[in-house]
Amino acid sequence: MKLTCSGVAPAASAWSAAFALAVSASAAALGQTPAGPPKPDLSPMLFFVGNWTCNTTKSPDAGRMGRLTKLSVAADPRGYWLTQATDRGVSYITWDVKKNVWAFIGIGIGGYGVSTSPGWTGNTLVVTDQYNSGDDPVATVTFTRSTDTAFDIVYSVATPQPFSETNSCTKLPPSTGSG
């Protein structure tokens, strides 16, 4: 009686061939970058890109008057969002293609929130909170562009206690770098 692996060899060969094909396909795929989801048109928000100084010009809290805040806004190099950073936190701005709104996702000292806007109407952009962590009140933020290098921000809360604060922001000249 002769023992052979004739029943096993074709299966082993088929498995080896399938494995080799899978490995080579994976290697080929590693050399390519997947296309990813379509990029949003960020052009309506590119006005914000740059470094800004914002000054509190109106507040019910006299201690906040004249307070300076530095705001830095940069476009994601891959083209999917803008990053807005201050000393209090970071926000990401992108277009929600399913809801047809601008989405503002903020993470900061003490919490996080999601706000939306339909976009600019003339020189005005109204952003409304959809969700805030904790017990933070729902707010509306209105940006009013006065020139290519200046805008005002009015932060308003209607309930539980009405509150409104205004900041005037001025774009800083681009850094020339050192060296």
Q: Exposed (0-12), middle (13-18) or buried (19+): which is 48, by Cβ within 10 Å?
A: buried
Amino acid at 4: T
Cα 75 → chain centroid: 9
Domains along the sequence of the chain with CATH: 43-171 (2.40.128.20)
Tens-digit pLDDT profile for residues 142-160? 999 999 999 999 999 887 7
pLDDT at res. 63: 81
pLDDT at 83 over 50: yes
User: Cβ of 127: how many Cβ atoms within 10 Å?
Assistant: 22
Q: At CA 85, angle to CA 128 and CA 138, rounded to 5?
A: 20
pLDDT at res. 165: 92
Q: Are 117 and 101 in contact (CB under 8 A)?
A: yes
Mean per-residue pLDDT, 18-33? 44
Of 149 and 12, more confident: 149
pLDDT at res. 31: 59
Share of the chain above pLDDT 90, in %: 53
Task: Please give the model's pTM, rounded to 2 decimal places.
Answer: 0.74
pLDDT band (50, 70, 90) for residue 175: confident
Cα 3 to Cα 131: distance, rounded to the nearest angstrom: 72
**Which residues in the chain belong to E strands, given as ranges?**
50-58, 68-75, 82-86, 89-96, 101-108, 111-117, 120-121, 124-132, 139-147, 150-157, 163-171
Q: How many CA atoms lie within 13 A of 92 on its CB side?
A: 10
Q: By C-alpha distance, which of 153, 154, 117, 160 is closest to 138?
A: 160
